[in-house]
Structure 1
Amino acid sequence: MSRIRVECRHRYADGFDLHAAFESGDGVTALFGPSGSGKTTTLHILAGLLRPTAGRVLLGERVLLDTAAGLFVPPERRRIGLVFQDHLLFPHLSVRANLRYGLVRRPGRRIDLERAVEILELRQVLDRHPHTLSGGERQRAALGRAILRGPELLLLDEPLTALDEPLKERILSYLERVLAEWRIPTLFVSHDQADVRRLAEHVVVLEAGRVVDAGPTAATLDRAVILEMKSPPGPVNLLRVDGVQQVEGHWEGRVRGQRIQLPALAGAPDSAVFVQFLPSDVTLTCDTVAGLSVRNQLTGCVRDVILLPGRAFVAVDVGQLLWAEVTPEALRELGLRVDSLVTCLVKTSAMRILR
């Protein structure tokens, strides 16, 4: 059953016209698209912060909005938790009081305050006020207040955008903990492919106010960023690496049993890490190679070949799906087609670690 169903139109005075129609389920769904595509407007309609020109919104069996029937449920009665990228904590209240505000303002499921404090590691800042907190502490406090309302749906509006990379990685890990602990259906806005691939099970792709695609994250996002968007950025590779350890002075792990050498880490991670790199960082060969400075050679089977003017994208299953970008000439010379066996060469220096 769909957790949320949306069919809305909204037109701004400057001429921007949003037409959002999609459904999402009980897991994590991303609203993905470039700046100005209508992602935040859609989120504000769902939260009740914006009345659209026309449309209907259902949360489960509850109708939150039906312009034709003159029905509009105000934000405080929607049982929706909302986290903005600029946090919006009450500045005159301590972290503890901000969290308790979430408790007294919700009619839905009960979330234990002590458990939320533990999961988000907020105990050391409970008696401090927002202006004394770091960006990451404010984000965690805002997330805690939102989940303590016991929402039926959690909305995250670009929660990682204003953060530098190390802080972003820490907040991502907290988000993953929250989603695993309470299984709250979540809709989050992002223009970052890596964040979407890491967190979301489904994605809705928006461009210029229209939904251009929707479905399971990997296949839908790959299709959209290669073929369907007006200015397709191309895919980003994100591989999960397990069993990370230091071996003879370097770090390495496994991608579904295949060894992969990693950039330097500050210390041993207590769980899997993710590595991000571009399709243009991948070299393909059909032969076994030796004597190369490239440390990583992942063997797999071609699952898709997409030929575009001047370039081609090749999807390779190495235990996880990996994209390579090659020239049409290289594609022909290698004779690549679906089910071809290939080796993917990736320089360690091209990888970025996401923990």
Structure 2
Amino acid sequence: MTVLNLGVRCQRRSFALNIDQQFDLTGIHGIFGHSGSGKSTLLRCISGLEKSGTGQIIWQNRTLLSTADKCFVAPEKRHIAHVFQRSCLFPHLTVQENLDFAIKRRVTNNIPIDEIIELTGLQPLLASKVTLLSGGEQQKVALARAILFEPELLLLDEPLSALDRQNKRQLLALIKRAHMHYKIPMLYVTHSIDELQQIATHMSVMENGQIKLTGAIHNVIHQLNNSAMIEQQTSLSLTIAPQEAKAGGLTPLLFHNTVADSVEQGNVITKDNVTVKDNVTVKDNVIGKDSVLDIDKGGEQDVNTKLYMLTSNIGEYALQHQALRCFIMASDISLCTQEPSNSSIVNQLRGNIIAIDINEHQALVTVSVNGHPFYASISAFSVNTLDLAIGQIVFIQFKASAIQTLLK
């Protein structure tokens, strides 16, 4: 396990940073929060750029900060790279010279510069002054320079916030490829839940200088649905179904159940008083830490459930890795009390209601489909008309176009 232990305090005008947390940075850990919640201050404390922080920071058993022991490791000796919202490149240097700067200052020499240039597609820009580049190109250079430094830890502070949607997609794919290829631990800070949906394995939520929630990405997003911090949505990991033909502009997908994470951690999951741990089998087609599961649950549908997504919404990255992170807005899911028939809506799943939250005229209904929560935003009128109740069996419906992904 790659561990970062924090016990950090830092006073700001509008909040006080107060963090006591252990981060598992085996994957990409996202930090989510609105502006002024303390996200950037936390990263500055970790990198050593914030010198007013007190307490203790231990990275991989190495103490970077200990106020009690009067220990403060200088930023340049922490072997931590920091990518900011603005690229912070040297404006008087070319792209090549900015990359060479990292090469000259790195401690190890394992990542060839030609490999990074190919990965980032910077070859045509090497002789250009960075001031002549677009915002997306500058962030590519900043990321390439950070990776070439061969850091023990990479901090990404709102790296995409100034970019348009197309550049965001390209940079997200680049960050994910870099992590998969070089296994560099990453802390990714953003106020965009969509970005974290695509690349983070774990996520923490910050508010007023403190961490309010932390855990696996899908689980935290599901918990946030009942708050005012995000737009209500269902978070999914999907795998492109092997040996399945695309037809009529749709691609069949297999959705990964949250049961997979719990089984991997050795937990017993109980639903409708049925314990399912003992009859879970993991298939061979494993993508990362997610597993496609078959669960015999007394007639309920297979967890290896097939969904359909518009082929045009599945990009090169997903096709290459046969996996993608997706989300479905709660407003795009409808409910039926009887199994639908002869419907143009291709995605239909059977589940049972586990929560109904009514706020004035709107209701958020949570439906468990073999242990995975789906969220439907409907009117309070519909709740009353359909006589919905917790424990009731219902069918959820959503169009193929409702399954969305930012990373293409």
State if a TM-score over 0.5 links the two structures: yes
* Structure 2 counterpart SS, 1:345: strand
Deviation at residue 176 of structure 1 after TM alignment: 1.2
Q: CA shift at 1:184, angstroms? A: 0.7
Give the equivalent residue in structure 2 for 1:236: 233
Return the match for 1:344 from 381, 396, 400. Answer: 396
Greater shift in the superposed pair: 145-154 or 299-308: 299-308
* Deviating more after overlay: 323-332 vs 25-34: 323-332
Change (3 A) 1:245 1:17: farther
**Compared CA separation, residues 306 and 84, structure 1 to 2 (3 A):** farther
What fraction of aligned residue pairs are identical, expressed as a percent? Answer: 29
Could you tell me whether the CA contact under 8 Å between 2:347 and 2:399 is conserved in 1? Answer: no
Per the alignment, residue 276 of structure 2 pairs with none
Partner SS for 1:205:
strand
In 2, the alpha carbon distance for the partners of 1:270 and 1:199 equals 16
1:284 aligns with 2:283: no
- SS of 1:247's partner is coil
Amino acid at match of 2:199: L
Contact map agreement 1:251 1:262 (CA 8 A) in 2: yes
What is residue 351 of structure 2 aligned with on the other side? 301
Change (3 A) 1:178 1:24: same
Between stretches 251-260 and 147-156, larger displacement belongs to 251-260
Distance change in 2, residues 1:349/1:260 (3 Å): closer
Q: 1:320 to 1:255 in 2, by over 3 A?
A: farther
Tell me the amino acid that sits aligned with residue 19 of structure 2. A
Change in CA separation of 1:37 and 1:308 when aligned onto 2, cut-off 3 Å: farther
Conserved? CA contact 2:250–2:309, under 8 Å:
yes
Instruction: Give TM-score, length-normalised by structure 2.
Output: 0.76
Aligned to 2:253: 254
Flag the 1:196–1:303 CA change in 2: closer, same or farther, 3 A: farther
Paired residues of 1:255 and 1:319 also in contact (CA < 8 A): no
RMSD, aligned α-carbons: 2.8
Unaligned runs of 5+ in 2: 256-304
Q: C-alpha distance in 2, partners of 1:219/1:10?
A: 29
Instruction: Report deviation, 1:55.
Output: 1.4
Q: Which of 347, 359, 374 is the aligned partner of 1:322?
A: 374
In structure 2, the CA distance between the partners of 1:54 and 1:233, relative to structure 1 (3 Å rule), is same
TM-score by length of 1: 0.87
Q: Provide the C-alpha distance between the structure 1 equivalents of 2:373 and 2:184, rounded to a whole number of angstroms.
A: 28
Aligned to 1:22: 21
SS of aligned partner of 1:68: coil
The total of aligned residue pairs comes to: 348
Asked if the contact 1:238–1:277 (Cα under 8 Å) also holds between the matched residues in 2, the reply is: yes
Change (3 A) 1:157 1:232: closer
Greater alpha carbon shift after TM alignment, 115-124 vs 269-278: 269-278
Structure 1 unmatched ranges of 5 or more: none
Does 1:44 pair with 2:30? no
Task: Report the AA paired with residue 81 of structure 2.
Answer: G
> Structure 1 residue 179: deviation in Å?
0.8
**Residues in 2 aligned to 1:39 and 1:5: alpha-carbon distance in whole angstroms:** 16
Partner residue of 1:87? 87
